[in-house]
Structure 1
Amino acid sequence: MSEAGDRWEAACLALRLLAIDPTGLKGLCLRARSGPARQAFLTMLDGMSLPRSRLHPTITDEQLFGGIDLAATLAGEKMVFNQGLTSSPSMLVLTMAERAGSDLAAKLAQVLDSDKGHCLIMLDEGAEASEHAPPALTERLAFHIDLDSLGLADVTAAAMDPNALIRARARLASVPAGTEDISALVMLAARFGIDSLRAPLLALRAARALVALNGRDRITFDDLAQAARLIYPSRATMLPEDEDQPPPDTEPPAPQDQSQDGDNNEPSDGIPDEMLIDAVRAVLPAHLLDQLVPAGTTRGASGSGGAGARHKGNRRGRPLPSRAGRLDGTSRIDLVATLRAAAPWQPLRRKATPWAKGLLIRPSDIRLKRYEEKSDRLLIFVVDASGSAAMSRLGEAKGAVELLLAEAYARRDHVALITFRGIAADVLLPPTRSLVQTKRRLASLPGGGGTPLAAGLKAAGELAMQARSRGLSPTLAMLTDGRANIALDGTADRLRAATDAETLARLIRAQGIPGLVLDMSARPQDTLRALAAQMGAPYLPLPRADAKRLSGAISSALEG
């Protein structure tokens, strides 16, 4: 079967398992734009046992959780409530999940964590890699399915048998899980760099659903392998290293009381069998290595996402829930929210003032409109063009920055370029959206001289503060080998150069400027790691990466 056919079969199997245990597996994230594969997959959702509710990224709290029925409350002079979409167990289908904000993600995560029988289907229609569903939700859902490149020829008929699903649901509660099964899944997750315990828990749920679907009474090695293949690949952050095999002459003898039957495939010492690792490795995404960020680093600094900082106001932008407040001549009243706040108090107020007519509104009922708008992001590249960097990685750094510039141009970000060499730093390119001009300046970037790291940090901090005063959201991306030898006053003094750099790094952190420090030296530098900690920025040592890998790691860290 082709690779596309395997992906379709895996997607259909995942949906069957979800139909058996929707509450335990929580749901799935389907990444696919409109097409025959997506339509065929969504048609199969009719086999789910839960009623379906459709959500939109701009759904209100009242629609989601329920609230006061304003018309019925005013007419009957008593509190009448509407039921929200989450009031009873249901399958929640979130369309355009890539546009869901962190506030909606937090509310839906709370619904899933409450274990009240809900199941979430997220439809991720993002066209670019930077457009994706909220990680807070995808991490809670068992299955991540990508059908974006599948065509009509790859889709085969795969209707779900309702009777088989009913029988499987009845058997699910009686399927046991052994300690060896749990240990194998946990250790396997660790080998692939999966640090969330939700992944092995979901994999165990999937293995039990497989047993129930196939009509067996216990979990086998094949069930564990198949469950891991469905759950782990999309969560993997590293490739497992091959364990060194001991020499034949140093191998310890087997204990005398060890079983000699040789047919026990179950892991007995808590270490996952290599066959489990091979099963997951076989279905890892081909582009996984380009998305990896080294262990011990964070995937992005605070406020350094794909868009600029958020600003709240009362005039324009994306609507936010109204809040209580006073009319001051500049704010706009939310009439519906104000009436909803006043409705429950009408019976009491009418008894207190029987001569009054109409609705009785008090200042405490006033609700004001709020909006949120995002500023443009400015990505400031701070590139080390000193002699030590030019001798090692300056060419690859230029290539990485050029690739990132193309991505920033596609997002309509502003970019700026600062280089430091000799005894000072230069702003080669002030904030601009001109890709051609930026690439021209970058191509002519010279190399050589000392490493005035402190001067580069000073120039970057000043430019970031100027950009912030103009309404931009600055983010620093510094590429250097960390061998500072020029102090801030231009003198050649390594000790003072390091001290000045640390002082400016702390200042940048105090100003709340997010950033990223990429170590482009042949070997990771402890001094540069400490400098990144002073800045409060992620530290990425990538000693053997080419320009494409460099740009991929930087993009992952800034967009995470």
Structure 2
Amino acid sequence: MSGTETWNRAALALRLLAADPSGLGGLWLRARPGPARDAVVAALDRLPVPPRRIHPAIASDALSGGMDLAATLSAGTPVLRDGLLAPGATILLTSAERCGSGLAATLGQWLDRGAGSLILLDEAADGDECPPPALTDRIGLFLSLDDVALRDTGPLDMHLPASLPTVTLASEQRDALAVTAASLGIASLRPPGFAAAAARTAATLDGRSQVQDADLRLACELTFAHRAQATPAPEDDTSAPPEESHEQDGETQRPEIPDDMLLDAVRAALPPDLLSRLAEARTRRAGTAGGSGAAHRGNRRGRPLPPRPGTLDGRARIDLVATLRAAAPWQPMRRAADRTDRRLHIRSADIRVKQYEETSDRVLIFCVDASGSAAMARLAEAKGAVEILLSEAYARRDHVALIGFRGNRADVLLPPTRSLVQAKRHLAGLPGGGGTPLAAGLQAGCELARTSRGRGLTPSLALLTDGRANIALDGSANRGTAEADAGRMARLLRTEGIAGLVIDTGRRPARSLEELARAFDAPYLALPRADARGLSGAVSAVLG
């Protein structure tokens, strides 16, 4: 689809949203900063109900309302104020790809009540982030402006007709939308409802009382395309068997099949690479967030959290506004009991202290088998996978470390660093050959993880080996002792609470590595035929 066609479809989507905001739930707008996005955001300000802008770090009381502190203290009685989530409001969430689970739950409950519409301004640049599925599933329309250039843009007409006819949707059309959604692998029941609302609204804006095929195609493009989990390939009409009729209760019924016209509209709606990027972003959302280590609470720095009751012990920092808000409802009662001219009465139970969540940096320790057996089989692929993972870790601002084990020893080739050039240089110089001191590699990984944790980092360990341990910790070439030592080191890693992953790079899965992964309490992946890209993808999926 060309940039001009995308822009024209964006103009139609904005008119649909203006005509039926509650029925469509809102709009997911995926666009990088630029003239095209600015024009669409400016047009959103011309909606019948202009959107109220919020950010991912907004306080809960600003959304749901609460006590007006100044008015309460002045009047002496509780005075409440309305929040931004008022009935019929339109909310625009900027940087929606950074929305947390708490805010997503609040907005999702608000949408479920049918109280308004939500616009998600998704500014993710590389496709590795997306808004929470709890919100995207509750929003009907989707627009991506990635392929729109300045020359493709034009005026956006937000004018609505003065009178709108009542539009009906035939039962066959409703069934076609439901079957099409199922054929695309869409499990949620909401999208067919959004598609029906979009089709009715499109016919309404054209002044028609019946939904036509063009309305259904537009509805599928805007509500189904970005949700497709599996797009059926076009069928060859010449080889299709004739339709069979089935008798049931004396009536002839035709088998329900997806409408090829609607499926073709979905196939043409979005570029294939965008579908894959959205799928990858959903996977990352479902897993552990990358680029951050363990989180712990404190009272000095980090991301602000809701205040908590506390005491002034000289270490905690008082949250003055929250303290006054807790004390305000009790002022009339306390003034009457105290019988003095003092206007403000604070008790110890009113004290609220600040708390923050501080997230440590993460270090990814790659423990790579460079022995002779691994070199013969998969050392080249393992090096390529680690190089890709190093680049991804650098992009997330993680620290990376590299341990190579061969012969009768394990060496820390690269201490934790953020230098991508240095990491690649050490990886390229990793030699191959010799025995497999697997236990020594795990021991070196455990020691490096302990050291990193002492520096405030959160360690994770990825072990890449073919599993043929034959060198014990004492340097002797005894396969039984070597496997026992490796198992003992794996249990030590589990005791230390170090997250990890065991990847079997051998040509055949090794039972000994499965047992090692269980002792480590880590996922085990056997990838005998994966290339460097496949190896890196598996590690990224597990370790985030």
- TM-score tier by shorter-chain length is 0.7 to 0.9
Match of 1:345 among 330, 337, 341: 330
Task: Provide, for residues 36-64 of structure 1, a one-character-per-residue CA deviation record: whole Å limited to 9, x for no partner.
Answer: 20122123224533342111233222211
Partner of 1:163, secondary structure, is coil
SS at match of 2:296: strand
Q: Residues 225 and 70 of structure 1: is their aligned pair in 2 closer, same or farther, counting only changes over 3 Å?
A: same
2:150 to 149, 152, 157: 152
Aligned equivalent of 2:135: 137
Counterpart AA for 1:341: A
User: Which residue, out of 390, 399, 403, partners 1:405?
Assistant: 390
- Residue 389 of structure 1: CA displacement? 4.0
In structure 2, the partner of 1:6 is 5
Q: Which secondary structure does the structure 2 equivalent of 1:92 belong to?
A: strand
Q: Which residue of 1 aligns with 2:59?
A: 60
Shift in CA distance, 85/471, structure 1 to aligned 2, threshold 3 Å: same
Match of 1:111 in 2: 110
Superposition RMSD in Å: 4.2
Deviation at 1:316, TM superposition (A): 1.8
* Match 1:447 to one of 432, 437, 448: 432
Structure 2 matches for 1:427-442, cutoff 5 A? 427-442=412-427
> Which of the residues 263, 272, 291 maps onto 1:285?
272
**SS of equivalent to 1:475:** strand
Written as runs of structure 1 = structure 2, the 5 A alignment for 1:44-443 is 44-113=43-112, 115-130=113-128, 132-163=130-161, 167=164, 170-171=166-167, 180-181=175-176, 183-190=178-185, 196-200=188-192, 202-213=194-205, 225-236=217-228, 268-269=255-256, 272=258, 276-282=262-268, 283-286=270-273, 299=284, 303-355=288-340, 357-422=342-407, 425-443=410-428
Cα drift, residue 81 of structure 1 = 0.3
**For the structure 1 residues 89 and 424, does the alpha-carbon distance in structure 2 shift closer, same or farther, using more than 3 Å as the test?**
farther
Residue type at the aligned position of 2:450: M
Q: In the TM superposition, what is the alpha-carbon distance from 1:485 to its structure 2 partner?
A: 4.4
Kindly provide the CA deviation profile for residues 77-109 of structure 1, in whole angstroms up to 9, marking residues without a partner as x. Answer: 211101100132211011233443343333323
In the alignment, residue 171 of structure 1 is paired with which amino acid? V
- Where does structure 2 lack aligned partners over 5 or more consecutive residues? none
User: Secondary structure of the residue that 1:329 maps to in structure 2?
Assistant: coil
| Native 8 Å contact 2:291 2:361 kept in 1 | no
Change (3 A) 1:231 1:255: closer
CA distance in 2, matches of 1:256, 1:126: 49
Q: Could you tell me whether the CA contact under 8 Å between 2:167 and 2:200 is conserved in 1?
A: no
Question: 1:410, 1:257 → 2: CA distance?
Answer: 58
Change (3 A) 1:119 1:179: closer
Whole-angstrom CA distance in 2 between matches of 1:287 and 1:98: 16
2: CA distance, partners of 1:527 / 1:242: 46
User: Cα–Cα, structure 1 residues 8 and 51, in superposed 2: closer, same or farther, change >3 Å?
Assistant: closer
Using the TM superposition, name which of 385-394 and 485-494 deviates more: 485-494
Q: d(CA) in 1 for partners of 2:174 and 2:509?
A: 40
Q: Closer, same or farther in 2 for the Cα pair 1:125/1:304, shift >3 Å?
A: closer
Q: Distance in 1 between matches of 2:497 and 2:254?
A: 49
> In structure 1, the residue corresponding to 2:273 is in which secondary structure?
coil
Aligned-residue offset at 1:346: 0.6
Indicate how the Cα distance of structure 1 residues 213 and 149 shifts in structure 2: closer, same or farther if over 3 A, else same: same
What is the CA-CA distance between 1:150 and the residue it aligns to?
2.7
Percentage of matched positions with identical amino acids? 52
Equivalent position amino acid for 2:52 in 1 = S
| Contact 1:423–1:486 under 8 Å retained in 2 | no
When the two structures are superposed, what TM-score results if normalisation uses the length of structure 1?
Answer: 0.80
Taking structure 2 as the reference length, the TM-score comes to 0.82
Q: Which amino acid aligns with 1:167?
A: L
2:373 and 2:86 map into 1 onto residues whose CA distance is: 63
| Deviations 1:403-450, CA, capped at 9 Å, x for gaps | 332333344321111234456543322211222221111001123455
Alpha carbons 1:324, 1:368 under 8 Å: kept: yes
What's the offset of the Cα at 1:466?
3.0
Whether the aligned pair in 2 keeps the contact of 1:47 and 1:162 (CA below 8 Å) is: no
Q: Does 1:23 align with 2:22?
A: yes
Q: How many residues align?
A: 537
Go from structure 1 to structure 2 and tell me whether the alpha carbon gap of 1:136 and 1:155 turns closer, same or farther (over 3 Å shift): same
Residues in 1 aligned to 2:133 and 2:526: alpha-carbon distance in whole angstroms: 24
Q: Work out whether residues 323 and 368 of structure 1, in 8 Å CA contact, stay in contact via their aligned partners in 2.
A: yes
1:304/1:59 CA distance change after superposition, 3 Å? closer
